[in-house]
Structure 1
C-alpha cells in the first residue's frame, strides 16, 4: 500500500520499498519470513538506514527550522572552496532547536543534491528549489531571465524504435488525460515521430519528459523539444489530441 502511494510521487516512484537481502537478513534474525504476521502493534525493522531510498518519507520543514541551523548550513557550504551549492545533511534531535541545545552536527555535504524532494515532499509545502537555483546562477553570471507564459506550444521529435509499437497512441492517451491539444504522426523515416502539444506549461513539460520513456515496446533514443508559436485553443470545445497517419 505504501508503494502505491510512492508511485504517485514523482520523487519517490523510483525509490520503492523492497524486501532486499538486507531486509530479509533482519527478518531472519527475528526468526521471521516475508509471510510472517506480526502481532498487533509489534514494530518490525526492515532497514537500519533512515533515508528516502530505504523507505523514508520526506517532510518540508523550512519554515519551522531554527535560524541557527539554517546559518550553519550556509557556513558549511562556504567552508568548502569552489562549492557553490550543496545539500547539507544534519544528524540532530530536533530541527526546531539550535545546536547548543541538543546533540547534533553536519554529517554530509552533497554537491549533487536531489532537489526534487523539495518539489514533491510527502508532508509540508512544496518549494520550487530548481527555479530558485536557475535564477541565482543567472544573476551570478549577468543573465536575464523571463517568466514563461502560462500556456505554451511545443514541437516534439522522437527518434528510435517508435513506429509500429504503439508509441503514437500511448502519447495521445497521455495528452488526452491531461486535457492537452495537438497531434502526433509518423514520419517518412521509420525511426521518427513528430508531435505538437499545446496546454499549460507544467503539463506540456510533463508530456515532453514522458516522451523520453515511451510505452514498453518502444525504444526512444533521442527526443528534441522546442517551443513554437502558441496555438489558439478554444477551451469550451471538446479536448482533441489527434493521431495522424
Structure 2
C-alpha cells in the first residue's frame, strides 16, 4: 500500500486514505488523482481490476475452474464445500493419488495449507485441524514436487518473477538449528519486507525436523541445508529470489494466460509451479492483490519497481514527472494508526514538493536542549516551508536537519542560530550535506527506536502467553500444596512442626 501511494504522491498526484469496515475488522483504502481522473486502490489492487475478478481470485476453487476452462495447466484437484464428508474427500484423494495438498479455498498467506500428505491418516489429521478453523471450503490437489515462482503480470506483460524458497537454515558445523534460526531471524530484521516475518518455531517445524530425526538442539554439518517448512510462503519464513530473467517464454506465456483467463483482471500475481511434469508451469493460484515485497526486496537478484510500472499504467502522463525521483516521504505509520483507532475516517496527505529536496544537517555543540526548544525551532522551520528534525546526539551535541526546495533556502536557515537567546547556548556549529531521505514536517527524534504496530502486537501476544504460563504454573503449585496439606502424613506430623517453631526462633 505504502510503496504505491508514495510513488503516486511523489509524482504530484493527490493522495487520500480512508478507513472502511471489512467484515469484523477495519481496513484501509486509498485514492490517487491527477484532477482529471481518480483511481482507487486496496493494497496492491487497483480499480482497473473489477470486483468480479477479485471475487474469483479470492476463491481458489473458482479460480481453478476459470484456469481449466482456458486450458491453463493446473494440478489435478477438486474443491469441496464445508458440508462434504471426510469419506468423500479421502475417496477423491485416493483417486488423484497420494501425496496430496489440502488448502482452504479462501485463506491467504499459506494459512491452513497442508502439503505432501502421504496417506489417509495424514489427510484425516489435516482435515480435522482445518475444520477447527472457519473457512468456506477446502481444495484437494495432487502434490507435485517442483519450484514455486510468484510471477507479476500487468496488462499482458510479465514484470517480475520471484522464486520462493521455504524456510531453511544452512549448517556451519558448530551452531544448533535453534541458534541458526535465531541468526537468520536477526538477518531478516535488516530487510523491510522480512523484518516482521520471522521463522517461527511451532509444532509444524518440530514435526518436520522430527521426521528427519532432528531437533532444535541438532547441529547440522557445514553446508548442510535443513528445511523447516514444506510451503514457501514468505509469511512463514520463506525467502524471495528474483528469477525474472530465468523464466522461459513458455512459462511467461502460462502466467499471462492465467491472468487473462479471469475476466476483468488486468494485473495480479500468479503462483507458478515449475516441475519435470509441468515444464511450462502449472498455476496454483492467481492473486488480485499480491504482496509486492518479494519483488522489491529479494534476498538475491535485482529488485523490480512494480509500483513505478503500475503508476505508469494507471497515470501514463506522470511517467516522466520530476517528482518521481524525489527524496521526500510522508509518515505513513501515523496515518495508519489514526485510521485504525477510529480517530479519523479520511486523511488527505499534504501535496508532495515538486522536486528533489536540498538538505543539510547542523551539528551544534553547547547547552541547547532539544525538548525545550523544539516548539521554537519547529515554528521557524515551518514558517520557511522547510522540513527536518532535531536530535540529541550526546550530552553537549544536538543535530538539526533541515531540507527545502533549494540550497539557498536551506543555507538561509543558518541565520536562525544568531537569535539572541539561542546564540548564547551555542559554542560551535558544524555543517554537512544530508543525503538520506527526508520526512515531511519537523519532529524530535529522541534516539530510541520506536516499535511498529506489528512489533507491539507481537510483544502483547508474547506477554499474554507468558502470563498464561505463570498462571498455570501457579495453579499447579497451589494444587500440590493443597494435596500435601490435606494428606494424612501432613496432619500426623503437625505436632513436630509446632515443636520446631521455638527452636527456629532460638
- Return closer, same or farther for 1:181/1:132 CA change in 2, 3 Å cut-off: farther
Say whether the 8 Å CA contact 2:251–2:281 is kept in structure 1. no
TM-score, structure 1 as length reference: 0.58
The equivalent of 2:432 in structure 1 is 238
What SS class does the counterpart of residue 240 from structure 2 fall into?
coil
1:7 to 2:189 alignment: yes
SS class of match (1:86): strand
Q: How does 1:34-53 map to 2 (within 5 A)?
A: 34-38=216-220, 43-53=225-235
Cα distance in structure 1, aligned partners of 2:234 and 2:217: 25
| Residue 86 (structure 1) shift | 0.7
Cα offset, 1:127, TM superposition: 1.2
CA deviation after TM superposition for structure 1 residue 238, in Å: 2.8
Selected match of 1:70 from 248, 252, 256: 252
Q: Secondary structure at the match of 1:8?
A: coil
Distance in 2 separating the partners of 1:105 and 1:155: 41
Structure 2 unaligned residues grouped into runs of 5+: 1-182, 339-358, 363-369, 376-381, 390-402, 412-429, 435-441, 446-506
> How far apart in 1 are the matches of 2:293 and 2:330?
26
Separation in structure 2 between the aligned mates of residue 186 and residue 92 of structure 1, nearest angstrom: 58
- TM-score for the superposition, normalised by structure 2: 0.31
Structure 1 gap segments, 5+ residues each: 162-178, 188-193, 199-206, 208-227
Q: Which residue of 1 aligns with 2:387?
A: 197
**TM-fit CA distance, 1:132:** 0.3
Q: Normalized per residue, which structure has more helix? A: 2
Residue 54 of structure 1 pairs with residue 231 of structure 2: no
Superposed CA RMSD in Å reads: 4.3
Structure with the largest fraction of strand: 2
Aligned residue for 1:14, secondary structure, equals coil
Residues 151 and 181 (structure 1), Cα distance of their counterparts in 2 relative to 1, 3 Å cut = farther
Cα distance between partner residues in 1 of 2:207 and 2:201: 10
Offset, 1:91: 0.5
Post-superposition Cα deviations, 1:15-61, rounded to whole Å, max 9, x if no partner, equal 21121121122234455432233456665442121232333321112
Q: Is 1:106 matched up with 2:283?
A: yes
Structure-2 residue corresponding to 1:85: 267
Preserved contact between residue 155 and residue 196 of structure 1 (Cα < 8 Å): no
Structure 1 residue matching 2:270: 3-state secondary structure:
strand
Alpha-carbon offset, residue 69 of structure 1: 1.6
Equivalent residue runs for 1:139-178 within 5 Å: 139=316, 144=318, 146-148=321-323, 150=325
